[in-house]
């Protein structure tokens, strides 16, 4: 009997340790392994390049995490990023005004996020199905709008968003850090963030406490739409053109980053530093495979395995905590 209790305590201790620190251990191991596999990996230019190229995934991951914590899932960020990014590019070409272009892109993302949240909460459609539908609608719409052709002629001002520098620091990294700070404040210092955790942990209890569950979920989806749009704008700026096929499968990289970072698929559990570490891990994984000239086909296989392992770990950790 005592042995059973000891074993249960050990399982709970491991689950608690992994949920708090597991991703950081994995990240350290990944850095060591990558540095051994490639002499180029630890060079400052490559490390900065990892962060710069990974800013879009990280920004999308913040939105994906908020939705997951609220107890839902969003499979549309990649397509929404492509739609919003191309619409921003189109507005830039039409007006020559970067501010108008950015606002246009963000509005597109917010609209898609609101539609996702409204249909999920009001119509009762599972978020997996609704956001999968949005994924196809957004991608199909932007392909039809552009006739599957890139939008060119964005100009130097728009290019600053994804290619510029402020001193030695790339502008995309600065934007990502600002979004990170805002997101951390929302989730850790604001009432709305506490409500997101409460809704994801137990929606019925949150509702009984006076929380407007539907509104919280709608706002979480809107935030995810905004982060997807911002990521799309940065991506199109970096590519110097509006690419309707851009950001393909980015939603899975974002979700992988959040789950590896300790966010539960069942909602109510997650932390911002873990998602940041998870996104960096995904970036390191992609970078080292690129440096080793691993085929894009095999990279997809590795990503699929990582997603499966992340979900398995999440399930195991939750089971251990329930013991």
Residues 166-203 have pLDDT tens digits of 999 999 999 999 999 999 999 999 999 999 999 999 99
Which pLDDT band holds residue 148 (cuts at 50, 70, 90)? very high
How much of the chain exceeds pLDDT 70, in percent?
Answer: 93
Which position has the higher pLDDT, 219 or 8? 219
The residues spanned by each domain of the chain are 40-313
Multiple choice CATH, 40-313, 2.60.40, 1.20.140, 1.25.40, 1.10.3470: 1.10.3470
Q: What is the pLDDT of residues 24-62, one digit of tens each?
A: 888 898 899 889 988 888 898 898 888 998 999 999 999
**The pLDDT of residue 203:** 95
How wide is the angle at C-alpha 61 spanned by C-alphas 260 and 264, nearest 5°?
A: 45
How much of the chain exceeds pLDDT 90, in percent?
Answer: 67
**Cα distance between residue 102 and residue 122, in whole Å:** 30
**pLDDT tops 70 at residue 270:** yes
**The pLDDT of residue 202:** 95
**pLDDT tops 90 at residue 303:** no
**The pLDDT of residue 197:** 97
Give whole-number Cα distances, 311 to 28, 115, 217, 314, 318, in Å: 21, 27, 22, 5, 11
Mean pLDDT to the nearest integer, 65-69: 97
Quick one: the chain helix, strand, coil %, rounded to 5?
80, 0, 20
**The pLDDT of residue 38:** 86
Which pLDDT band holds residue 111 (cuts at 50, 70, 90)? very high
**Cα distance between residue 233 and residue 216, in whole Å:** 26
**The pLDDT of residue 216:** 97
Which pLDDT band holds residue 320 (cuts at 50, 70, 90)? low
SS3 80: helix
**The pLDDT of residue 300:** 84
**The pLDDT of residue 304:** 85
Do 283 and 295 touch, CB atoms closer than 8 A? no
How many helices and strands (H and E) does the chain possess? 14, 2
Give whole-number Cα distances, 115 to 41, 52, 59, 231, in Å: 42, 31, 20, 19
- Phi/psi at 196 (5° precision): -60, -45
Which position has the higher pLDDT, 70 or 287? 70
**The pLDDT of residue 93:** 97
Expressed in angstroms, the distance from the first to the final Cα of the chain is 15
DSSP string, 22-45: IHHHHHHHHHHHHHHH-TTTTSHH
Secondary structure string (H, E, C) spanning 276-291? HHHHHHHHHHHHHHHH
**pLDDT tops 70 at residue 1:** no
Maximal CA-CA distance, the chain: 74
Average pLDDT, the chain: 91
Which pLDDT band holds residue 78 (cuts at 50, 70, 90)? very high
Helix axes 171-189, 213-239, angle to 10 degrees: 170
Mean pLDDT to the nearest integer, 267-284: 92
**Cα distance between residue 302 and residue 306, in whole Å:** 6
**The pLDDT of residue 292:** 87
**Cα distance between residue 313 and residue 323, in whole Å:** 16
């Amino acid at each position: 009997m005592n042995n059973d209790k000891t074993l249960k305590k050990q399982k709970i201790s491991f689950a608690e340790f992994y949920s708090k620190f597991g991703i950081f251990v994995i990240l350290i191991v990944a850095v060591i392994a990558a540095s051994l596999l490639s002499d180029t990996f630890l060079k400052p230019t490559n490390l900065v390049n990892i962060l710069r190229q990974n800013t879009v995934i990280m920004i999308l991951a913040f939105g994906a995490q908020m939705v997951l914590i609220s107890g839902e899932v969003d499979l549309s960020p990649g397509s929404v990023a492509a739609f919003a990014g191309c619409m921003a590019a189109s507005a830039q070409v039409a007006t020559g005004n970067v501010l108008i272009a950015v606002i246009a892109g963000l509005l597109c993302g917010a609209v898609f996020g609101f539609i996702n949240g409204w249909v999920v909460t009001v119509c009762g459609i599972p978020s997996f199905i609704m956001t999968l539908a949005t994924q196809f609608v957004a991608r199909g719409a932007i392909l039809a709008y552009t006739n599957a052709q890139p939008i060119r002629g964005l100009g130097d001002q728009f290019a600053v968003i994804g290619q510029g520098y402020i001193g030695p620091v790339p502008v995309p990294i600065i934007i990502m850090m600002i979004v990170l700070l805002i997101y951390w404040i929302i989730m850790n210092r604001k009432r709305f963030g506490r409500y997101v955790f409460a809704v994801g942990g137990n929606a019925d209890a949150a509702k009984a406490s006076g929380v407007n569950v539907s509104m919280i979920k709608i706002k979480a989806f809107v935030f995810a739409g905004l982060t997807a749009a911002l990521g799309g704008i940065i991506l199109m700026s970096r590519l110097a053109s509006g690419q309707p096929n851009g950001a393909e499968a980015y939603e899975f990289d974002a979700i992988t980053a959040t789950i590896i970072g300790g966010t539960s698929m069942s909602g109510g559990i997650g932390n911002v530093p873990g998602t940041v570490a998870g996104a960096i891990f995904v970036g390191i994984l992609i970078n080292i495979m690129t440096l080793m000239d691993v085929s894009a086909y095999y990279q997809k296989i590795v990503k699929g395995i990582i997603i499966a392992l992340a979900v398995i770990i999440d399930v195991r950790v939750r089971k251990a905590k329930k013991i």
